[in-house]
Amino acid sequence: MYLVTGANGFLGRHLTAGLLAAHIDFVGAIRVLPDDFDRDSNLVAVDRIDENTNWSQILLDIDVVIHLAARTCVVRGSDAAALRDVRCVNVEGTLNLARQAAAAGVRRFVFVSSIKVNGENTNGRPPFTEYDAPNPLDAYGISKLEAEIGLRELATSTGLEVVIIRPPLVYGAGVRANFLSLLKLADSRIPLPFSLVSNVRSMIYVENLVDFIILCCTHPKATSQTFLVADQKSLSLAELMTLIRTSMGRKTQLWPLPSFLFRLFGVILGKSKIVDRLVGNLEVDSSYAMKLLNWSPPFSVEQGIKVTVDAFIQGDRR
């Protein structure tokens, strides 16, 4: 039996669907049960994940924990205040769950971390790998690194098998946040100034990530490993917008604007971080995970974008 935290989030919904399709029994932990909750379902309510959460009843008969739940929205204020806010869930909550899991006899703990542990970009350097020294630059990335360190220490002291996965941006049907904004921008009839943006950014289609997570739950060579995973092909912003608009049946309509002008406008408007995510590089090397576990993404980036766009047209476009 598996326990999936954050089961009703974007990744959680796709993962639980994947577990059902694979006929793997699981319990899904969410914050609030839906109004139409079926008592015979496999969902349980966990009001808050922190150092005081009692997991004892939920962990009965659990063999593998897949920990997705995380605090991503950071409070406004000082960097110190933001870090305190995310540590409560991402560090203390994670390690509390892992300690109780080890005590309950759970075999393996799969922790979905973030590429932010490696850093914010690969501008002027090779792609990120598992061998790079961590360089998180914001509260979320720092909290994920601290959780990773604590989990490795716990694995050494208890024998709990720990697997850490650091994905880059995850996209797929029902995606929210920045990728949804890109879809809405691509869906407009406005010509976009991206044809000269030749950056390189790695992403991962959610069904590829689900496939990898499920593999990590059982593969003997995954134990004590940290993995960076992404789609097999990275894209520039120009390539991504072309692919999205083509999938929408629209004309590409991209015109040239040099990247340095994007960065200049970002500085002027106080949006440098947003601009760097658009035109900067963030490339991930997945070769270690692919070779060690004999894994390759089952879906191409073209297939992933097509499914994502189709879901957007059927739902969020309205």
Active site (catalytic) residues: 140
Three-state secondary structure string covering 266-314? HHHHCCHHHHHHHHCCECECCHHHHHHCCCCCCCCHHHHHHHHHHHHHH
CA distances from 162 to 1, 86, 167, 248, 302 (A): 17, 21, 16, 41, 32
Residue 135: both structure tokens together: 């360089």
Contact between 166 and 127 under an 8 Å Cβ cutoff? The reply is no
**Residue 43 CB partners (closer than 8 Å, separation 6+):** 7, 8, 27, 28, 29, 30, 33, 37
Each as own residue / partner, the long-range contacts of residues 55-61 (CB below 8 Å, 24 or more positions apart, any chain) are 55/96, 55/97, 55/100, 55/101, 55/104, 56/100, 56/104, 58/3, 58/27, 58/29, 59/3, 59/100, 59/101, 59/104, 59/106, 60/104, 61/1
Q: How does DSSP assign 180-209, residue by residue?
A: HHHHHHHHSS--BS-TT----B-EEEHHHH
Element (H, E) at 101: helix 94-103
**Whole-angstrom Cα distance, residue 226 to residue 144?**
13
**Whole-angstrom Cα distance, residue 137 to residue 150?**
19
| Helix pair angle (139-158, 94-103), 10° resolution | 20
**Whole-angstrom Cα distance, residue 183 to residue 173?**
11
